[in-house]
Amino acid sequence: MSLTAEEKATFKRDGVLIRRGLAAPDLVKRAVSLIDASYRKNMTADDIPAYSRRTFAPELGDSTELLSLYTETGATGLADDLLGDAAPVTTSQIQIRVPEREFPGLQPEKAMHVDGVSCPHLDPRELRTFSLLVGVVLSNISDPQCGALHYLPGGHLAMARWFADQWSLGMTEQVAPEIDRERGTPFLGMPGDVLLMHHLVPHTVAQNLMPFPRVMAYFRVSHPDHASRRLEALRDPWLDYPPLTDVPAPTFQE
């Protein structure tokens, strides 16, 4: 599985690429039924705040069935196409936006952020960054009101400039003030759709105003050298993406 030249150019400009229906229905069905069982049987309302920071269904973090959403769908080939080479992914993260009506006040909107930098619950000097986020849709996300991920197309370039010029390690601000004010573009999709997002694209999630849970599986992919150059990768958006160095970003809007 590989990316077209046009897809690479789009990723360069937007920092985001969407492949509809990449994960086969049987893989999606198996993952959904495991997550659903965990949500119904193991989760309590008290778990929601911590799970929202880390992962839902933590006991499934290294399950082969969940990992197959990344390893058996062609997503690994797409990640290799962007990064040139990628370290193996060994865990999945499940993020559920629970229905607000059922669990009022337990899952507030997340602030605009990039993953792994100045996490509110961690030491701000600790970086837990990576290169590429792969997200697999596991529920119907056709209405932005259901707690859709909202992202800022092109925000990876603005964030790299901010990290280079304004930011220093230990600051608690997660993004530049002008980015914090943005609401972003909702990522809408159906089960099996896959999102590839550059690590510097700022994003947020709102409350889920629908009566059913919104479910995503996420995989964090790193260039093999990422861990040894986290600070540099915040300031140079293409350091972890050698195959994209010479790809021109399109100037047209689709």
According to CB under 6 A, which one of 149, 195, 215, 217 is a site residue for ligand AKG? 149
- 3 state SS of 25: helix
Nearer to ligand AKG by Cβ, of 110 and 223: the residue is 110
In the set 95, 118, 129, 131, which binds ligand AKG (CB under 6 A)?
95
Q: How many binding residues for ligand AKG (CB under 6 A)?
A: 8
Listed ranges 70-78, 115-123, 183-191, 243-251: which one lies at the site for Fe ion (CB under 5 A) = 115-123
Stretch that binds Fe ion, among 36-44, 61-69, 112-120, 158-166 (CB under 5 A): 112-120
18: number of Cβ within 10 Å:
18
Position among 197, 216, 217, 233 found at the interface with ligand AKG (CB under 6 A)? 216
Helix 64-71 vs helix 75-83: angle between axes, to the nearest 10 degrees? 50
Tell me the per-residue interface mask from 54 to 93 with ligand AKG, x by CB under 6 A, - otherwise.
Answer: ----------------------------------------
Residue 13 interacts, among ligand AKG, Fe ion, none and using kind-specific CB cut-offs from 5 to 8 Å, with none
User: Is position 100 an interface residue for ligand AKG (rule: CB under 6 A)?
Assistant: no
CA–CA separation, 184 and 202 (whole Å): 8
Q: Give the whole-angstrom CA distance, residue 242 versus residue 224.
A: 12
Q: DSSP class of residue 99?
A: B
Listed in sequence order, the residues at least 6 apart from 60 whose beta carbon sits closer than 8 Å to its beta carbon are: 34, 35, 38, 66, 92, 94
Cβ neighbours for 96, distance < 8 A, ≥ 6 positions apart: 35, 39, 51, 56, 213, 214, 215, 216
Binding mask 104-123 for ligand AKG (x = CB under 6 A): ------x----x--------
Cα distance between residue 149 and residue 187, in whole Å = 6
* Residue 1 C-beta: closest distance to Fe ion, Å: 25
How many residues of this chain interact with Fe ion, rule: CB under 5 A?
1
Q: Could you tell me the smallest distance in angstroms from the CB atom of residue 95 to ligand AKG?
A: 3
DSSP letters spanning 145-158: TBT-EEE-TTHHHH
The pair of structure tokens assigned to 203 is 């994003």
Does 203 engage in binding with ligand AKG (CB under 6 A)? yes
For Fe ion, the nearest residue by Cβ is 115
Collapsing DSSP to helix, strand or coil, 21 comes out as: coil
Q: Name the site residues for Fe ion (rule: CB under 5 A).
A: 115
